[in-house]
Structure 1
Amino acid sequence: MSVPADEPGNPAHAIFERFLRAGECREVLGCFVELCQQLGLQGSGLQLYHGLKAALNYWNAKALWSKLDKKAGHKDYDQGTACAGTKCLVVGAGPCGLRAAIELALLGARVVLLEKRDSFSRNNVLHLWPFTIHDLRALGAKKFYGRFCTGTLDHISIRQLQLILLKVALLLGVEVHINVKFEGLVPPTHKAGGWQAVLQPSSSPLTHYEFDILISAGGGKFVPEGFKRKETRGKLAIGITTNFINRHSRAEVEVAEISGVARIYNQKFFQNLYNKTGIDLENIVYYKDDTHYFVMTAKKQSLLKKGVILQDKADIESLLSPENVNWDALLSYAKEAANFSTNYCLPELEFALNHRDLPDVDMFDFTCMTRSENAALVREHNGSRLLLGLVGDCLVEPFWPLGTGVARGFLAAFDAAWMVRRWAAGTPPLEVLAERESIYQHLSQTSPDNTNKNISQYSIDPATRYPNINLQAIKASQVRDLYLVGTVEVDSKRKSDNRLSIAAPGAVSEELLSWCQASTAGYPGVAVTNFSTSWTSGLALCALIHHFRPDLVDFDSVDSQDAIQTNQIMLDIAEQELGIQPVLSSVEMATMTEPDRLDLITYLSHFYQVFRTSPGPLSPCGTRGALLFLSKLQKSRNLAHKRAQVRNPHPDPHDTPKPCPLPTLTTPFGFAPGATPACPPPLQPPRERTGENSDACYFCGCRVYILERASAEGRFFHRGCFQCRRCGATLRLGDYAFDEEDGHFYCSLHYPHPPSMDLARDEASALPDGEECTGLGIVKELVRIFPSWCWHHQHGWALTEAPGLAQLWLPRQEVPGAGTDPPARATILSQYPDLREEEKYPTWKRTLARRARESQMKRFCRAQAIQRRLEEIEVTFRELEQQGIKLEKLLRDENESPADQQTQWTNQLLYLVQKKNNLMTEESDLMIAVQELKLEEQQCQLDEKLRSYMNKEDTLKTPEDEKAEQEILKQLVEVVNKRNILIQLQEEKRLSELQA
């Protein structure tokens, strides 16, 4: 007679509890086998799950069955019959492979999972998106790991995540085999046979297992035959991960995590790190879980200087090879970076050990990331079909461990399960493939912000996760090449060649000349017949601009006798008002000869690209874009710096700064929000230029060809030479500082006299006398500009509706009549606690801390995506430049070439110029996003400082405290204003694009 499972002392009960607590892969598998033997259960699949549930019905087990039953009861699984009779092989027991296996088991399929290792040893910690947290909770994660996402934790070690998923998979009947390596497929030898696998060791009984579904989750280094890989390459990127032992002491608990900080928006932190330690990083993250986990991106020169890398080598594989790395120096580098970033508050750091019993530190290259061009394919042999799908890193390789990999991996696992469901339902193979590829198009762009908000409704059905998805975006006729019959001849290691071809069609020079002639027809003194002498006077360029933008220039006022000045004015207007960078200097324009026509053709092609979409004159805001905005932003910064120098040319560092009136809030374009641009500005004499030779780099003096030419402040240079004079950091257009006194360029951190980031504004005070920078004055100014500022009868003023901006609280004491609500636009904000009422709202600190962490994480994720794309653009620029240099040399060759050949080469060059212009626009869009991130970071830091003063009782505040508080308020107003302006710009740009 068997003992009831819920009776005290029941052996099965004790074994199950050991299974739940097991912390090693082999221990989990051993406990599960022992449990099944104790209960006399055999087999696999959901039948095994139901047997376990019937046998283990004590309270702790029943709580877990309740969660799994609720999951299994979803309509998508058809009570576990949707894929009955389907036999699946899943390769890889990483988080994504295990998650896919769980979904296939819930569908009722027989699932066999192979893993070549026998232990889970990856301590690295993953950030979890909200939907992944909800998904894991629904699988009973807290039953297996009680600390799962407790408090503000939103991350987990890979090792713990694998253990949770392995236990769930076993309970649902997945057959898991460790120490078995998948090496390939064996097609059926006869019509009645099925597909099998080549395994190592060959003695494994699974060599005879026949299956009709293969899901590969084996990582980026293993992709089954037939799949094509696409490569995206950025600039050199060297990552370092390290794990230290977490003893969970009070001192360790009190050290704040770093959700992520990036140089792209917080240069000061990394400069301080470099000054103190010599360590030069691009970013760093710190999480606490089973270990103290740090991940960072290090600069190569820093690693060389610190002796981590022994010799500089061009080949990345050789650069990071073990024989070229000083292991002890790497450990020291990682520990020092960890100590500095946590302000040396962690107790003595001791490295955790990896699966080789060595300090868990790794240095790796993620310069080149790969993704599969297709997510699935079908193979047929001897009439037997095999459906193959990819999940995890072998589908899309993530470039940063911020939850993107595991979140998109889980989404891909759901998508793969949906594909198998459709396959099992008898959907024609090409339709299954077409639908899978339609869904796959969404995966690389997914984020918590663009997936469906109701995460509790997520299922394997793509419509529950992806908004407005079109499952027929790709047609069956477009995926015929993914249905492979017989022997596979595709080289799975072949990388798709995504380099630009110089043979692509471009704007024809004759068409460009005809367009210029039509656009300048009828203007007195203008006769465009060529790309040289017709343009020397500057009148032709003036006519071209006036034709499309008569608001920018008065053609009749142009002095046709001063060609250099006229050309300079037109170059300035094109740059400042149209976002078109000069390719030639005004002197070169005025002395244009036939051999120089190539430069002019490329310059005029920019106008063609900007204006050709409009047959008539453009509206004043029609051409506003990222390039134009950055040009104006940079001009505004320089103007602010000049004014500051005029007011105080030799500031005394010991002077006490005096309160200054709050400046009038304006847009980057020089007029107040909602106002109309002024009439065309009067023509001004050209500003002094020093670089009159456009084909010589201002920095290195070497030849700079058209495709590699960039310009700023009238100087021409190679993009690669555009660096900070002090630190050598690469500068980008729209994010640099220029000192006219010494003629040098700087990053904003190293500008000799750093100007504020102020945009152009009037000098007059916007506040009445006596209120200048007081809290009341700032409140009034904010309310004047932002109607969304509103009053709470108990708490004070708060910004609640401006998009993308955080709430800011001002003390009630600052505002007269605080006991009554002001007029109609007042809003009650009772959901937000007063920062002074800690006793009444004991959780406000935790709420604010959680919001700050979420904001920091979002900011860092955006920064990483921007940084990666900027690096990819930089690589593409180099490819374009190399092709452009070859073409330009051919066109400038003294040996005469046939006219048709010259025309072909010119057209190819213009095509490359167009590609470059498009990249510059995208780069400028990204740089605007960088400006937004910088302002967000500033606002976050100022909010934190302000909160520390506002939490202090007024009676305890010193005069210095009050002064500091007012200064922070003033700075905060300026940052909020700038962020609002950028938001307005993005809205204007979006509307302009819609109109176009």
Structure 2
Amino acid sequence: MADPVNPSHATFDLFVQAKTCQEVKKHFIELCRQLHIDPKDFRSFYTKIKERLNYWKAKALWTKLDKRASQEAYQQGKACLKNKCLVLGAGPCGLRTAIELSLLGAQVVVLEKRGEFTRNNVLHLWPFTIYDLRELGAKKFYGKFCSGSLDHISIRQLQLILLKVCLLLGVEVHTEVEFQGLIEPTGETGWMAKLQPQSHPATAFQFDVFISAGGGRFVPHGFKHKEMRGKLAIGITANFINGNTAAEAQVAEISGVARIYNQKFFQELLNQTDIDLENIVYYKDDTHYFVMTAKKKSLLKKGVIKQDYSNAEQLLAPANVDHVALCIYAHDAAYFSTGGKLSDLQFAQNHAGQSDVAMFDFTCMHRSENASHVRERRGKKLLIALVGDCLVEPFWPLGTGIARGFFAAFDTAWIVKSWGMGVPHLKVLAERESIYQLLSQTTPENTSKNYSQYSIDPKTRYQRVNLSSIQAHQVQHLYDGDKTRPSSTTQDSQCVMRRDPASGFEELLKWCVKHTNGHKNVNVKDFTQSWRSGLALCALIHHFRPKLM
């Protein structure tokens, strides 16, 4: 007679195999109940689940997580023991950041507005990202993860993998809760969040670190965004149902075909269908995923765009797009590019229950001017940092989104470590901004190839990094101090300016002379003639930001 199955082993299997966010959470709660562990006991949760779940399938996972946790940067999970971190957004970057903060020993709470993970779109993964996820046990949770030559994964699957790791490390993840802003400290409480529903238990959570991974255009107060616009380029994404049949499995993926490399293909597509594309990518994952860049002229001709406008927002506004025509356009492009081998292309559904096809302008890119900010009220400081799309929007044809997103997650964890170790706030901000300067330049070629040595320490990943390229005095504008009790230095300087305006003028002139001294052909004597050639201004910029000149 076979031994009875241990209920916790069976529940762990269900947890590992769960295919939706709510299923994951349900099986996790049941597992905690069976093992008599409080999921809110973040300090010792991972240790207890390892001790009590004596199951061979789980042990392989503990080995991987233990290896990550043993990295020197985490100081055995004691670097941030006193810190409480709120992470907004359970996208891949928010969850990846939460994992790192948890390994540092912080208490971590993640808030997510949606109740389910529904994004079918597929992400291209850089080699380091594949290695990183494998080391977190991605294969244990999703057997098909990057098998063979595959180097991509759907956003939904990636979220599920990272959610499971988060929960096992003691991170609290709350779904269907909307963040509506920060609540400043009172005499009795610290920084808190205004949430909907107002009765949600996370409303009582007090924190000293706030990480926004809210995505897209969501940027907390205190951050400015730059908009970078190039020549109009219209992207289309489409997801079709993957029936996982033998015939579908035979259809070759298209890792990226651009017009300049295969003009014959694109000319035939245009001749036979009137569809004019710059490039097309096809990945096979949970869905058949296509992403393409379409020419405006062909979209107008095919009736996808109803009326031509020079303004991109007007041009692609929902009212100016024929959704049925867009579906036909995407379907025909997908059918032709796969040689008609995907004969039964039916659209998968998006979160709204509609055909999962979208059109967007990817030439308008947003990036935050800064990656971090410190706010202080009633003597309580809050470190605020951005990760993911609200820090830098990805340029999809290069597959940079998730790779740079993970780099930003590690960089953010690195400065939270400094914050937890008591490093002065201006120094923390200066270091974060120094590292941020490198992010948009990263490629698989110019980052370290020694993936096994990667940690939250930027020096293990960036080939050339100067953690003090920006100095503390250059980031004072990123500190928003308590307005009710200005520091004595602020009061003193205000008094001086009020008492004697001339002395302020002289002080400023002395400062300019000091910081331009020694530069050729620069001799600052006043605020008029000395600046006409522009050399004095260049000298001043060179003094503080030599890399810019």
Cα contact 2:241–2:346 (8 A) shared by 1 = yes
Residue 22 (structure 1) shift:
0.3
Q: Please list the CA deviations of residues 143-178 of structure 1 after superposition, one character each: whole Å capped at 9, or x if unmatched.
A: 100000111111100000000000000000000000
1:156 aligned partner? 153
Q: Which amino acid in 2 is paired with 1:343? A: G
Matched, 1:296 2:292: yes
Q: Give the counterpart of 2:84 among 79, 84, 87.
A: 87
2:339 aligned partner? 343
Secondary structure (helix, strand or coil) at the match of 1:398 reads coil
Q: Give the counterpart of 2:326 among 303, 325, 330.
A: 330
Secondary structure (helix, strand or coil) at the match of 1:79 reads coil
Q: Give the counterpart of 1:260 among 242, 253, 256.
A: 256
CA distance in 2, matches of 1:27, 1:459: 31
CA distance in 1, matches of 2:150, 2:14: 25
Q: Which amino acid in 2 is paired with 1:323? A: A
Matched, 1:64 2:64: no
Q: Please list the CA deviations of residues 833-877 of structure 1 after superposition, one character each: whole Å capped at 9, or x if unmatched.
A: xxxxxxxxxxxxxxxxxxxxxxxxxxxxxxxxxxxxxxxxxxxxx
Q: Give the counterpart of 2:19 among 7, 23, 26.
A: 23
Secondary structure (helix, strand or coil) at the match of 2:349 reads coil
Residue 249 (structure 1) shift:
1.9
Secondary structure (helix, strand or coil) at the match of 2:110 reads strand
1:44 aligned partner? 41
Matched, 1:130 2:130: no
Q: Give the counterpart of 1:408 among 399, 404, 411.
A: 404
Residue 319 (structure 1) shift:
2.0
2:180 aligned partner? 183
Q: Residues 411-430 of structure 1: matches in 2 within 5 Å?
A: 411-430=407-426
CA distance in 1, matches of 2:267, 2:472: 54
Secondary structure (helix, strand or coil) at the match of 1:436 reads helix
CA distance in 2, matches of 1:432, 1:476: 8
Q: Which amino acid in 1 is paired with 2:168? A: L
Matched, 1:53 2:64: no
CA distance in 2, matches of 1:361, 1:44: 42
CA distance in 2, matches of 1:264, 1:388: 44
Q: Give the counterpart of 1:141 among 134, 138, 141.
A: 138
Residue 8 (structure 1) shift:
4.0
Residue 38 (structure 1) shift:
1.6
- Where in structure 1 are there 5+ consecutive unaligned residues? 1-5, 489-903, 909-996
CA distance in 2, matches of 1:44, 1:306: 58
Residues 487/98 of structure 1: CA separation in 2 closer, same or farther (3 Å cut): farther
2:358 aligned partner? 362
Q: Which has the higher strand share?
A: 2
Q: Please list the CA deviations of residues 314-367 of structure 1 after superposition, one character each: whole Å capped at 9, or x if unmatched.
A: 333332222222121111100110111111122311111111221111111223
Residue 7 (structure 1) shift:
6.8
CA distance in 1, matches of 2:240, 2:441: 33
Residues 471/298 of structure 1: CA separation in 2 closer, same or farther (3 Å cut): same
Cα contact 1:193–1:384 (8 A) shared by 2 = no
CA distance in 2, matches of 1:360, 1:227: 32
Residue 222 (structure 1) shift:
0.8
Cα contact 1:431–1:476 (8 A) shared by 2 = yes
2:202 aligned partner? 206
Q: Please list the CA deviations of residues 908-933 of structure 1 after superposition, one character each: whole Å capped at 9, or x if unmatched.
A: 9xxxxxxxxxxxxxxxxxxxxxxxxx
Q: Which amino acid in 1 is paired with 2:415? A: M
Larger radius of gyration: 1
1:470 aligned partner? 466
Secondary structure (helix, strand or coil) at the match of 1:364 reads strand
Secondary structure (helix, strand or coil) at the match of 1:203 reads coil
Residues 328/420 of structure 1: CA separation in 2 closer, same or farther (3 Å cut): same
Q: Tell me how large the CA RMSD over aligned residues is.
A: 1.7
Residue 281 (structure 1) shift:
1.0
Q: Which amino acid in 1 is paired with 2:18? A: A
2:115 aligned partner? 118
Q: Give the counterpart of 1:228 among 224, 227, 232.
A: 224
CA distance in 2, matches of 1:269, 1:156: 27
Q: Please list the CA deviations of residues 33-83 of structure 1 after superposition, one character each: whole Å capped at 9, or x if unmatched.
A: 111112111123251111111111111011111111111111111111111
CA distance in 2, matches of 1:356, 1:391: 26
Residue 268 (structure 1) shift:
2.9
Residue 28 (structure 1) shift:
0.5
Cα contact 1:251–1:347 (8 A) shared by 2 = no
Cα contact 2:87–2:108 (8 A) shared by 1 = yes
Percent identity over paired residues: 66
1:949 aligned partner? none
Q: Give the counterpart of 1:382 among 372, 378, 383.
A: 378
Q: Residues 300-311 of structure 1: matches in 2 within 5 Å?
A: 300-311=296-307
CA distance in 1, matches of 2:213, 2:379: 26
Cα contact 1:46–1:172 (8 A) shared by 2 = no
2:499 aligned partner? none
Cα contact 1:277–1:336 (8 A) shared by 2 = yes
Q: Residues 853-932 of structure 1: matches in 2 within 5 Å?
A: none
Residue 278 (structure 1) shift:
0.5
CA distance in 2, matches of 1:240, 1:339: 15
CA distance in 2, matches of 1:356, 1:44: 36
Residue 220 (structure 1) shift:
2.1
CA distance in 1, matches of 2:81, 2:3: 35
Equivalent pairs, count: 485
Residue 468 (structure 1) shift:
2.1
CA distance in 1, matches of 2:41, 2:437: 35
Q: Residues 761-776 of structure 1: matches in 2 within 5 Å?
A: none
Residues 405/7 of structure 1: CA separation in 2 closer, same or farther (3 Å cut): farther
Q: Please list the CA deviations of residues 489-526 of structure 1 after superposition, one character each: whole Å capped at 9, or x if unmatched.
A: xxxxxxxxxxxxxxxxxxxxxxxxxxxxxxxxxxxxxx
CA distance in 1, matches of 2:178, 2:131: 32
Secondary structure (helix, strand or coil) at the match of 2:419 reads helix
Q: Give the counterpart of 1:76 among 58, 66, 73.
A: 73
Residue 294 (structure 1) shift:
0.2
CA distance in 1, matches of 2:388, 2:191: 23
1:782 aligned partner? none
Q: Which amino acid in 2 is paired with 1:392? A: G
Q: Please list the CA deviations of residues 534-572 of structure 1 after superposition, one character each: whole Å capped at 9, or x if unmatched.
A: xxxxxxxxxxxxxxxxxxxxxxxxxxxxxxxxxxxxxxx
Cα contact 2:379–2:482 (8 A) shared by 1 = no
1:372 aligned partner? 368
1:173 aligned partner? 170
Q: Which amino acid in 1 is paired with 2:250? A: E
CA distance in 2, matches of 1:265, 1:295: 17
Q: Give the counterpart of 1:391 among 376, 384, 387.
A: 387
CA distance in 2, matches of 1:422, 1:264: 48
CA distance in 2, matches of 1:131, 1:372: 25
Q: Which amino acid in 2 is paired with 1:223? A: V
Q: Give the counterpart of 2:317 among 313, 318, 321.
A: 321
Secondary structure (helix, strand or coil) at the match of 1:159 reads helix
Secondary structure (helix, strand or coil) at the match of 1:471 reads coil
Cα contact 2:35–2:53 (8 A) shared by 1 = no
Task: Detail structure 1 runs of 4+ shifted over 6 Å in the superposition.
Answer: none
CA distance in 2, matches of 1:7, 1:220: 52
